[in-house]
Amino acid sequence: MDLGTIYSRLENGELDSPEEFIRLVRLVFENAVTFNTMPHSFVASTARSLLAFFNSKIRTVECVLDVSHKNKKLTNRNKAQREGCHERFHSTRAGGKSMQVHGTALRQCPHLASGQ
């Protein structure tokens, strides 16, 4: 893997996610350090510097991605909770009268009331 290949894959839409891009760039620099083991190797020292620079710049992007993934998980969980609430509400109604669910009178699903 090299930066030219990453660029080509990016241009051709072959990278599936920002995380894959980050992983591949790190791999390039890590490989340069791994395979240039001579003491004071210009390639290895430059790769270490570039990796440190890349990591410092990409940290903000990773934070945004983490927040985005957490929000997506919360959104999916909230959607599942709403659907479950609607199902419980509709399955416990009997002739338009409210019924007791877990000891609480269920008159109307709270999500339906708020328009969700």
pLDDT tens, 83-97? 655 555 455 444 444
Q: Nearest to residue 60, comparing CAs of 18, 5, 6?
A: 18
All residues at 6 or more sequence positions from 61 whose CB lies less than 8 Å from its CB, including other chains: 18, 22
CA distance 42 to 116: 60
Higher pLDDT, 7 or 91: 7
Q: How far is CA 84 from CA 38, 40, 54, in A?
A: 61, 62, 44
Q: If we measure between CA atoms, which residue out of 44, 26, 46, 27 comes closest to residue 35?
A: 44
pTM check: above 0.75: no
DSSP 8-state assignment for residue 98: -
Look at residue 46 and tell me whether its pLDDT is greater than 80: yes
